[in-house]
Every structure is written in structure tokens, then in C-alpha cells.
Structure 1
Amino acid sequence: MDRQQTARLASSKGLFMTILVTGSTGQLGHLIVERLVARGAAPADVVAGARSPERVEAPEGVRTAVVDYDRPETIAPALEGVDTVVLVSASEPGKRVPQHKAVIDAAVAAGVGRIVYTSIYGGDASPLPLAPEHVETEALLAASGIPATILRNDWYTENYVADVARARETGEIAGSAGTGRVASASRVDYADAAAVVALDDAHAGTTYELAGDVAWTFDELAAAIGEVVGRDVTYVHLTTDEHVAALQAAGLDAGTAGFVAALDAGIAQGALDSTDGTLAQLIGRPTTPLVEGLRAIA
């Protein structure tokens, strides 16, 4: 029996399993570590991997390890004795695929039993410019031979922290998403789902499309932000060209402005619209309501 088979057998019998979470100083990674412990993992069975482990904030007893996506030589030592890896997607567009590949290759060499990967909602059907790197990573996982659980996350409510600040000052938010809807949830909701599936190998080989319980329009986002900041807030509907021009006027370079506007264009096409309910089912509770999530970041 190889190590992957042993790991799956141990999990099915509720025995000791060690889980490594990458990106544990990041906004999602540290929450996954916390939710693993809250969901019953022994702290000593959780390893918080990060480029700078001294910056990890985790429950007492959680171990730390250096996991630097850009230094593959750091990854193999961190995987010693690890049964499951929660691969939190890297944050820098254009670099994700080689960074993720470094972790996957090291996991294959170490005989890791399963990988849980945080991907993007819709996968290869998504028009969002973020999608191709996630799709390529999913392909690498499929080719690796390691059983994987793919968590295709919709938007984080926390993505709109800058809009909350802007609306507080100006009474406006602006964009080119038209009447497109976003089924966002708070990061803690997605982190909770990652903890649930990481703790149970029954989720191996499954792809989950995860989204908040309510899909809202940007006019509704403006109203929700207004409730949080205590003033009327309006969503200014822009064309894509107007949006790019406004972003450049605000100081963004042409490439970044085009990328942001392309995200809104994808939302306008329905890339983040969902009424699926899988996320709430996995975590056993409703997802965080939009106003509550916004209030937490305000």
C-alpha cells in the first residue's frame, strides 16, 4: 500500500492526518488554518505554510513551515509527513501556474494523499481574465495523479473594501458591470468550506462551484454600502471605455485598467451569478449576508 492509499484509509477511519495550508499569512490562508482547528483538527496536525512563517498568526499549537512558491527547494521539507495539502492560489497574475506547479510537483514526489485547490467560479467556462491560470492549474492537478478537490470560489465580499471607502467620501461607486450579478460571500465562508473538505477524504475527486446565497446587482451593492456608511450611495454605470479612462485618470496604468474593466465585462456576462447553494450546504449554515460582510470590512 503506497502513502496515498494509506492516507485515504487513515482519513476514512478518522485517524491522524496532517494538513498543510499554503499562503497562511494571506487573507484566505490564515482563515483556513483557523477554521480547520475550529472544525476539530488538532492544532499539531495543521501546518501553516508561508513565505515568512514568523508572520503567521494561528491558533496555539499549529506548526509553521517555509513554503515559498518562488523557491521550490523550500516546499519539499514542508511536506514531510503531510497527508493533505490545501493549495491556496497565489495572488500575482501571470505567475500562478509555475508557482502552483512547484507545489504540485513537490506533493507528487512526497506522496501526498490529496490536494485541495482554491480555484475560480465557473472554471473553463468563465470569461474572467483570471480564469486561464486557474484552469491550467486544474489541468496540472488532473495530470499529477493525486486525488484533488477543486473549490471554485465566487467573489469575496472583501473585494469591495475600496468601494466602501470611496463611497464614504463621495457617495458613489462606479463600474462597467451593467446589470450583472455577483453571488459573493465572505472569505470566512470559503475558508470554512476549505476546512470541511480538507478534513474528509470523501470529497476527493470532486469539483465544487461555491458562491454566496444571494446574487446582487451593483445598484444593490451601492444600497448595501450606503446602509453601512450611513449615507445614500449611487452606482455610476459606465461603458467599458469610460471605465478604463476613469481608472487611468485615477492613476492605474493602461494594462491594469484594462484588466479591471475586463473583470466587470465578465460580470456583466454573468460570470459570477449563482443561486446554487452548494457553499451553504458544505458549511452547514447560510453564507454571510452582503451588508454584514461589508460592515465587517468597514
Structure 2
Amino acid sequence: MTGATGQLGRLAVDSLLDRGIAPTDLVALVRDPAKAADLTDKGVDVRVGDYEDPASLDRALAGVDRLLLVSGSEFGRRAVQHQNVIDAAVRAGVEFVAYTSITRADSSPLQLAVEHKATEEALAASGLPHTLLRNGWYLENYTAQIPVQLEHGAVLGAAGDGRISAATRADFADAAAAVITGEGHAGQTYELAGDTAFTLDEYAAELTSVAKTPVSYRDLTVEDYTSALVQAGVPEPFAAVLADSDHGIKQGALHAESGDLSRILGRPTTTPAQAIRAAIA
């Protein structure tokens, strides 16, 4: 498990432990072991595995049979970082890799998809048996902003009436845990998406209903949305990427109806209303 102290990685660790995986059979790769003290206390084998340090990856992957490669968060560096992990996995004799990608990475217009596509190609070239977990948007991308949305009575974006097939990080983490511990997944590409697609206007209406506070969706141009994000403190290069993602949503880039996620989970995915209620609670 790479990125074991990240938002998705930690949930995947929890899901694996909940599934009965013995802590001593789970290797958690982290950059800073101090952030994984609770995992060490549980008996998880915590190892330093830095995406930028191939030698550390060689040490961390020694004896590993199955690898969940959680995509990195450093936009612009991820393709190189992921290649380092893949190369180390080959050297270590890893038998199976599951990688957290993005919706239709091979054809997506999103800037965010470029490095995912490169990683998918690197996995194919490596010869490693692998599964592509093409995660859709996280509901937390919106629910984490609820305090600000309620304060200003607005959800900002540039997504128009594009539909978003989002689910919670916990949903995606549970699916990753199911695949990495299951059989018959090698060679599969799963388009993982929430069952309940929504527009941002519908999200704002649901938030209004749950919070009993009027909230509306303000659809901006890509340029104006980028400026709004920068004014909110988002670094300009990443603000441009987020605004580009909204433009992609408008084109349908994050709408999928495969049903793969709920099938793997064996249950419906978390709805926007459920996620909003949980966030407010």
C-alpha cells in the first residue's frame, strides 16, 4: 500500500484491516513514519517508501506480493514518481498491482488525466499483472467546502449542467481493498463511479434542503473560476487545473454509468444527500 497516510490510503488500510487482513501481512509505505505511528501500534509493517527515492522503494517493496499503488498528489511529478514505483515493483517481483487512476484516463480531456494515462501505459509496458481502478470524483471535493458554501450561500464552479458521478473516498477505498485482496481482477479496467450522478445546481439544492440554508450554484467562466480559486488561496497552477476539471465536467468527462463501483462493493454507493448529511453532522 503506497500513500498509506494519505486521505485515500489510510481509508484503504482501515478497509483491509476490517476485512480481516492481519496487520503483520500489510506493508504500509509512507514518507514520514511519524505520521503512521497509529498503524505501527496496530502491528502494521510501516516502511519508508518515497516516490522520489528508488532505493527506498526497493527496500520497501522487498517481499511484497500484491501492491496497491495509490496515485500521488504532486501534480506534474506523478508520472515520474509512479514510474519509480512500477520499476521497483518489477525489481521486487511483485505479482499484482492495482492502480488508482481517473475516469476514462485513456481518452479524458482533463489535464489531471495526463499523468494517469502515462501511468497506465507504464504499467502495460512493465508486464506486471495489474488492474486499473479508474476512480471518479470524490464527493468530499464538495462536502469539505460546506462551511464556506453555507457562509456565502453559493457553490462556485464552471461545470455548467455537466453531471458528476461522484462517490466518497471510503467507497473508493473499500473497492480498492476488495480488488487487492480478491481474485480474477488482473487485466481488468474498472470505471468506478457513484450510482447517483448530479449537477452542481442539484448539489446546491440538496445542500439547501439538508442544511435549511439557501445555497445556489454560480456558474462561472473557466477564467473567472480560476481567479476565484486563486483569491481563495489555491496556488494558481493548481487553480487552473481545477477549473479545467470543471470545464471537463461540463463536457461529461466525470460522468460514468458502468456500475462497476457498486458491483465491487456489493452495495449501493454513498449518495450526495448521505454525504452532505454526514459532513454537516
One fold, TM greater than 0.5? yes
Identity of aligned residues (%): 49
- The equivalences for 1:73-222 within 5 A come to 73-222=55-204
| Deviations 1:255-275, CA, capped at 9 Å, x for gaps | 333222211100000001122
The structure 1 segments of at least 4 consecutive aligned residues displaced by more than 4 Å after TM superposition are: 251-254
- CA distance in 2: counterparts of 1:195 and 1:223, whole angstroms: 33
Structure 2 unaligned blocks of 5 or more: none
Q: 2:15 aligns with which of 35, 43, 53?
A: 35
Query: How far does residue 251 in structure 1 lie from its aligned partner after superposition?
Result: 4.6
1:242 counterpart residue number: 224
8 Å contact kept, 2:112–2:241: no
1:45 counterpart residue number: 25
2:253 counterpart residue number: 271
8 Å contact kept, 2:139–2:166: yes
Distance 1:66-1:220 versus aligned 2 partners, 3 A rule: same
Query: How far does residue 294 in structure 1 lie from its aligned partner after superposition?
Result: 2.6
Distance 1:138-1:189 versus aligned 2 partners, 3 A rule: same
- CA distance in 1: counterparts of 2:97 and 2:159, whole angstroms: 34
Query: How far does residue 253 in structure 1 lie from its aligned partner after superposition?
Result: 5.2
2:264 counterpart residue number: 282
Distance 1:295-1:70 versus aligned 2 partners, 3 A rule: farther
Distance 1:248-1:26 versus aligned 2 partners, 3 A rule: closer
TM-score, length of structure 1 as denominator length: 0.89
| Deviations 1:164-222, CA, capped at 9 Å, x for gaps | 12112111111110000101000110001101110123111111000000110101111
2:34 counterpart residue number: 54
8 Å contact kept, 1:115–1:149: yes
Root mean square deviation, CA, Å: 1.6
Distance 1:252-1:33 versus aligned 2 partners, 3 A rule: closer
Query: How far does residue 254 in structure 1 lie from its aligned partner after superposition?
Result: 4.4
Query: How far does residue 252 in structure 1 lie from its aligned partner after superposition?
Result: 4.5
- CA distance in 1: counterparts of 2:272 and 2:152, whole angstroms: 21
8 Å contact kept, 1:227–1:291: no
TM-score, length of structure 2 as denominator length: 0.94
- CA distance in 2: counterparts of 1:252 and 1:116, whole angstroms: 31
8 Å contact kept, 2:143–2:275: no
Query: How far does residue 249 in structure 1 lie from its aligned partner after superposition?
Result: 4.1
8 Å contact kept, 2:144–2:279: no
1:256 counterpart residue number: 238
Query: How far does residue 227 in structure 1 lie from its aligned partner after superposition?
Result: 3.4
Distance 1:256-1:75 versus aligned 2 partners, 3 A rule: closer
- CA distance in 2: counterparts of 1:125 and 1:40, whole angstroms: 37
Structure 1 unaligned blocks of 5 or more: 1-20
Distance 1:247-1:200 versus aligned 2 partners, 3 A rule: closer
